[in-house]
Amino acid sequence: MSVRFDIAVVGAGVVGAAIARDLSRYELRVALIEANPDFGDESSKGNSALMTEGHDTPAGTLERDLVVRGYQRYMAEAPTLGLPMRRTGALMLAWTDEQRATVEHVVEEAHADGFPRLSLMEGEEVLRRWPQFRPGVLAAAYMPDEVIADPFSTPYAYVLDAVTNGVIFLRPWRVSRAERLADGWRLANPQGETIEARLVINAGGLRADIVEGLAGYADFRMKPRRGQYILLDKPARAIHDIIAYPTPTPTTRGILIAPTIFGNVLVGPTAEEVEDRDDRSVTEDGLAALKRAIDEMVPVLRDMPVNTIYAGMRPATDHSEYQIIPRFAENWLTVAGIRSTGFSGALGIAEYVMSLVFPVVFDLKPTKPLRGVTVPDLAETSLRPWADADRIAADPAYAEMICHCERISVGEVRDALASPVPPASIKALKRRTRAMFGRCQGFYCGARVQAMFDAAQAERSGCEAAACGDRRDA
CA distance 197 to 4: 6
Specify the DSSP class assigned to residue 260.
-
Beta bridge partners of residue 177, listed in sequence order? 188
In terms of Cα–Cα distance, which of 293, 294, 291, 248 is closest to 92? 248
CA separation for the pair 392, 384 (Å, rounded): 11
Residues in the chain: 474
pLDDT in tens, the chain (474 residues): 789 999 999 999 999 999 999 999 999 999 999 999 999 999 999 889 999 999 999 999 999 999 999 999 999 999 999 999 999 999 999 999 999 999 999 999 999 999 999 999 999 999 999 999 999 999 999 999 999 999 999 999 999 999 999 999 999 999 999 999 999 999 999 999 999 999 999 999 999 999 999 999 999 999 999 999 999 999 999 999 999 999 998 878 899 999 999 999 999 999 999 999 999 999 999 999 999 999 999 999 999 999 999 999 999 999 999 999 999 999 999 999 998 899 999 999 999 999 999 999 999 999 989 999 999 999 999 999 999 999 999 999 999 999 999 999 999 999 999 999 999 999 999 999 999 999 999 999 999 999 999 999 999 887 766 655 443 444
Name residues whose C-beta falls within 8 Å of residue 49's C-beta, 6 or more positions apart in sequence: 148, 149, 150, 151, 260, 261, 266, 343
Helix (H, G, I), strand (E, B) or coil at 5: strand
How far is Cα 24 from Cα 177, in angstroms, rounded to an integer?
26
Query: pLDDT at position 470, please?
Result: 42
Bridge partner list, 120 = 141
Query: Residue 276: which of 233, 222, 323 has the closest Cα?
Result: 222
Domains of the chain: 3-47+152-222+318-357 (3.50.50.60), 86-148+223-314 (3.30.9.10), 385-465 (1.10.10)
What is the model's pLDDT at position 471?
37
Residue 399 pairs in a beta bridge with none
pLDDT of residue 462: 79
Comparing C-alpha atoms, which of 304, 224, 225, 315 is closest to residue 257? 304
* Residue pair 328/361 in contact by the 8 Å Cβ criterion: yes
Q: Write down the pLDDT at residue 465.
A: 61
- The residue among 11, 5, 18 whose CA lies nearest residue 36 is 11
pLDDT at 467: 57
- Asked if omega into 269 is within 30° of 0 (cis), the reply is yes
Please give the pLDDT value at position 249.
85
What pLDDT is attached to residue 242?
98
Which three-class secondary structure state does DSSP give residue 131?
A: coil
Compute the half-sphere exposure of residue 323: CA atoms within 13 Å on the CB side of its CA. Answer: 25
Task: Supply φ then ψ for residue 217, to 5 degrees.
Answer: -105, 150
Please give the backbone phi and psi of residue 146, each rounded to the nearest 5 degrees, phi first: -75, 145
Phi, psi (rounded to 5 degrees) for 451: -65, -40
Give the span between the Cα atoms of 16 and 202, in whole angstroms.
8
Task: Please classify residue 211 by burial: count the beta carbons closer than 10 Å to its beta carbon, then call 0-12 exposed, 13-18 middle and 19+ buried.
Answer: buried
Coil, helix or strand for 222? strand
Say if residues 370 and 25 touch (Cβ distance below 8 Å). Answer: yes
- State which amino acid sits at residue 163: V
CA–CA separation, 449 and 467 (whole Å): 27
What is the number of alpha carbons within 13 Å of residue 216 lying toward its C-beta?
8
